[in-house]
């Protein structure tokens, strides 16, 4: 059975890609920024990519949609911003709710930064839940860490699921896998791609998962790894967080110097497959990566939505089976899962 979704605020395609992997067919993928739309069309020419502000979106053009999903802009709730919430002009939750009210999908999946789960935004969050309840949905939310789903980065995200009353009792949140590779394991082949002699030693130092990538916004933030605290955490992993490199270090790069990540390396840290290309120059390409919702997390949650639609009960044993299949089908690197051992923390 086929299920159809409408993706709002798609960005560089992380959530849309993950939901595609979960079995959803996108009837529309909406994104405002032209360079981001170019990325989406480049990777999925079959998708109906629409360059639009969702505040002007004509929802009446869509019929039956099983899922509306979206990663509405996070600056209104991000600790890296001013946390203005509903007073921020970039708050797109009202527009998303208007679209949901008009289309009335079977389910809704919205993701945002962990800040939306904080006490500061309790009133905003409760108003959001009440609005969805008035539309006839039962609502649950959780904060999920990307590292619990095989992604070599902590990246806690607020995930909201709203479903019709007959579907929600069958929805079960995905279990944590707790098997992320370290940064070194995930990136050692890319660090050594241009014959840098220090790649193996660097990988030994980068023996933990990454801190949360920070992509910045169109108005603020450049191609670097975020605020001072984030840069310090990257430094402890042997990474220069002051910028993004154009290419991997080569054999002339000093073995004792800290390399910078490339856009491709950052994309691996987010859980994108290497086949996914990002359009634009370094700054705009990195912004697409740094602000993305990791595809493996979207896929894991999407699979549970599909299971609820199909009234399929997923036991813990079945979840472990899903994990084993995913590790066999979608290794993050060529080397990550070839050894029969638990990766180093």
List, by residue number, the catalytic residues.
Answer: 74
Which of 187-222 are b and which e, b meaning 16 or more Cβ less than 10 Å from the residue's Cβ? Answer: bbbbbbbeebebbeebbebbebbbbbbbbbeeeebe
Query: Phi and psi for 51 in degrees, rounded to 5?
Result: -85, 100
Q: Roughly what angle, to the nearest 10 degrees, separates helices 295-309 and 14-22?
A: 40
Identify whether the C-beta of residue 23 lies closer than 8 Å to the C-beta of residue 32.
no
Q: Is the dihedral of CA 7, 11, 14, 17 positive or negative?
A: positive
Distance CA 177, CA 188 (A): 23
Local structure of 165: helix, strand or coil: coil
Q: Which two tokens stand for residue 126?
A: 């409760």
Distance CA 280, CA 327 (A): 31
Distance CA 284, CA 279 (A): 8
- Count the helix, strand and coil residues of the chain and give each as a percent rounded to the nearest 5: 40, 15, 45
Distance CA 212, CA 231 (A): 11
Identify whether the C-beta of residue 265 lies closer than 8 Å to the C-beta of residue 213.
no
Cα distances from 23 to residues 5, 68, 113, 190, in angstroms, run 10, 14, 25, 30
Place of tokens 């299920």: 3
Q: Which long-range contacts (CB under 8 A, 24 or more apart) does 227-236 make?
A: 227/80, 234/210
């Amino acid at each position: 059975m086929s299920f159809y979704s409408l993706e709002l605020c798609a960005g560089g395609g992380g959530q849309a890609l993950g939901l595609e992997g979960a079995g959803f067919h996108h009837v529309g993928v909406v994104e405002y920024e032209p360079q981001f739309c170019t990325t989406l069309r480049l990777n999925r020419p079959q998708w109906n990519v629409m360059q639009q502000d969702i505040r002007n979106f004509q929802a009446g053009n869509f019929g039956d949609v099983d899922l509306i999903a979206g990663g509405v802009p996070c600056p209104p709730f991000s600790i890296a911003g001013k946390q203005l919430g509903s007073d921020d002009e970039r708050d797109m939750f009202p527009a998303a709710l208007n679209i949901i009210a008009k289309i009335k999908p079977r389910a809704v999946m919205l993701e945002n930064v962990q800040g939306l789960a904080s006490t500061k935004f309790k009133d905003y969050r409760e108003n959001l839940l009440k609005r969805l309840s008035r539309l006839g949905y039962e609502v649950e939310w959780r904060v999920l860490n990307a590292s619990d789903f095989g992604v070599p980065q902590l990246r806690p995200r607020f995930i909201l699921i709203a479903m019709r009353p007959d579907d929600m009792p069958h929805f079960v949140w995905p279990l944590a896998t707790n098997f992320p590779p370290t940064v070194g394991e995930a990136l050692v082949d890319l660090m050594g791609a241009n014959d840098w002699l220090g790649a193996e030693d660097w990988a030994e130092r980068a023996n933990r998962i990454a801190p949360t990538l920070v992509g910045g916004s169109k108005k603020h933030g450049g191609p670097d790894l975020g605020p001072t605290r984030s840069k310090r955490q990257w430094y402890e992993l042997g990474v220069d967080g002051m910028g993004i490199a154009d290419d991997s270090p080569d054999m002339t790069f000093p073995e004792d110097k800290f390399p910078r990540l490339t856009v491709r390396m950052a994309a691996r840290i987010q859980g994108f497959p290497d086949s996914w290309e990002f359009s634009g120059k370094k700054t705009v390409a990195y912004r697409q990566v740094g602000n993305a919702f990791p595809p493996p997390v979207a896929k894991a949650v999407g699979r549970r939505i599909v299971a609820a639609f199909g009234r399929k009960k997923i036991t813990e044993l079945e979840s472990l089976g899903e994990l084993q299949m995913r590790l066999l089908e979608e290794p993050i690197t060529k080397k990550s899962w070839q050894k029969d051992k638990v990766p180093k923390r």
